[in-house]
Amino acid sequence: MSALLNGLRGLWQFWPIAIALGLMLAPVRSRKWPWVIVGSTLVLTPLALSLGWITLYAARMEALIFITAILAVSLNLINGLTGLFSIGHAGFAIVGGYAAGILTTFVFQLGPETRLPLAIPAFVVSLLLGGLAAAAFGFLVGLPTLRLRGDYLAIATLGFGEIICVVLRFITFRRPVGEQVFEVGGPRGIQDIPAMPGLPIPGTEVAMPVLASFVYSLVALALIVWAIRNLSFSSHGRACAAIREDEVAAEILGVDTVFYKVGAFTIGAFFAGVGGALLAHWSNMLHPSMGGFVRSIEYLIIVYIGGVGSISGSLLAAALLLICGETLKDVLRDRDAWRMVLYGGILIAVMLWRPRGLYGDREFPWLMPRGRSTDGPA
């Protein structure tokens, strides 16, 4: 019982996210509303942290929520908008994570002592290159497998995700530290990925890595949601939705299905790679198992509980499921498996009784283009 109370007390720590969710759900259609949401979150959390209203841990979890939302929204572009049932999304994320992690750790050798004017651009470049590596991989995977449909495509993407994990288990790096040369990578993964570079404000040495990861993740999420939203409501997005509804009909109507399928896969993989790069620097480690099926399933659960095809649903479900998981973690202590039992049960229940999920077929008002009802893209 006291564990439950502790969990609920932990829930209170998430009030900045609750405010952001409230602003997102508000029936405001102003074009400036996204600025209000992002701006208020960007100000509120550091403010609350400096006043001691929320713990450092809660701020760290907020960053994780944003990163998970990036991965869910990018999976939604592939699964929801284009209707390609991919269950190897964590595979793309880990390609981005490894690419960016190798760049920051071994090439740029970022660390607390790196001078700032160098560190921030180097980190941003690593993020982008991580995304590009994942995109290249998505393109290579997509080109042959997208001939497959439905459940076969699902299994093929799963297979690719698992193959990545296997290959990563065999890749090792040599790292000289002083006189000695250490071997990192392989089945143990890389354990010393640097934290995201922040501003050297005196007195914030402890909080700065967390704040930095918070800001990078939030800005990346905002940019990615903006990009995917604009893509969804463009003619390209309508072409993708046409493929989802009926591929043969779309082809007859002149939609270049190969172009759009591979394109959606590649763009989704790019954003997943950026998300994976953020995740690697958030957790300061990389492990081959981070690309495995179990991780992919977590993103899949978020997309389908939120409502497949809806950006808003993915954002909502990412926040709600992670906060719910955090609360349960306190309640269940070491019995984390019950959390997954619950998620599995929710997934079945959603499929049985509410297949469009929490927010399916709809979008937040501020995500809609002018002059449209809130019925969702296409």
Partner 1 sequence: MDLILNQFINGLQRGSIYALIALGYTMVYGVLRLINFAHGEVFMIGAFAAYFAALMAGGGLVVALVAAMCACGVLGLLMEVGVYRPLRSRPRLTALIAAIGLSILLSNLVQALQFDFRSASGEEMHFSGASYTPFPADLLAANAHYRLVPGREVYVTRIQGLNLGVSVALMAGLWLLVRRTALGRAMRACADNQESLSLMGVSVNRVIAVTFGIGAALAGAAGVLSALTYPRIDATMGLMAGLKAFVAAVLGGIGSIPGAVAGGFIMGLAEVAAAGALPSSPVDYTPLADGVAFALLILVLLVRPQGIFGEAESQKV
Binding footprint of partner 1 on the chain (CB under 8 A): 85, 87, 144-145, 147-148, 150-152, 154-156, 158-160, 162-163, 165-167, 169-170, 186-187, 248, 293, 297, 300-301, 304, 334-335, 337-338, 340-341, 343-348, 351-352, 355
- Between 9 and 147, name the residue whose CB sits nearer to partner 1: 147
Distance of CA 42 to the CA centre of its chain: 18
Shortest Cβ distance from residue 220 to partner 1 (Å)?
28
Shortest Cβ distance from residue 356 to partner 1 (Å)?
11
Distance CA 31, CA 12 (A): 31
- Between 9 and 174, name the residue whose CB sits nearer to partner 1: 174
Please, which residues have CB within 8 angstroms of residue 349's CB and are 6 or more apart in sequence?
none
Residues pairing with 176 in the sheet? 181
Shortest Cβ distance from residue 375 to partner 1 (Å)?
19
The DSSP result for 74-114, as a single string, is HHHIIIIIS------HHHHHHHHHHHHHHIIIIIS---TTS
Distance CA 277, CA 216 (A): 11
Shortest Cβ distance from residue 149 to partner 1 (Å)?
9
Q: Are strands 180-185 and 172-177 parallel, antiparallel or unpaired?
A: antiparallel
Residue 4: count of CB within 10 angstroms of its CB = 12
Distance CA 367, CA 377 (A): 10
- Between 146 and 212, name the residue whose CB sits nearer to partner 1: 146
Shortest Cβ distance from residue 159 to partner 1 (Å)?
4
Backbone angles phi, psi at 190, to 5 degrees: -110, 125
* Residue found by looking up tokens 């590009």 in the block: 132
Shortest Cβ distance from residue 297 to partner 1 (Å)?
6
- Between 35 and 338, name the residue whose CB sits nearer to partner 1: 338
Tokens matching residue 210: 């967390």
Q: Name the DSSP letter for residue 307.
A: -
Number of H helices, E strands in the chain: 14, 2
Shortest Cβ distance from residue 326 to partner 1 (Å)?
18
- Between 199 and 348, name the residue whose CB sits nearer to partner 1: 348
- Between 20 and 87, name the residue whose CB sits nearer to partner 1: 87
- Between 133 and 301, name the residue whose CB sits nearer to partner 1: 301
Shortest Cβ distance from residue 85 to partner 1 (Å)?
6
The DSSP result for 189-240, as a single string, is -B--PPPPP----TT-TTTHHHHHHHHHHHHHHHHHHHHHHHHHTSHHHHHH
Shortest Cβ distance from residue 147 to partner 1 (Å)?
8
- Between 7 and 186, name the residue whose CB sits nearer to partner 1: 186
Closest CA to 90 of 104, 70, 105, 106: 70
Closest CA to 222 of 23, 84, 89: 23
- Between 9 and 188, name the residue whose CB sits nearer to partner 1: 188
Residue type, 360: G
Tokens matching residue 162: 């698992």
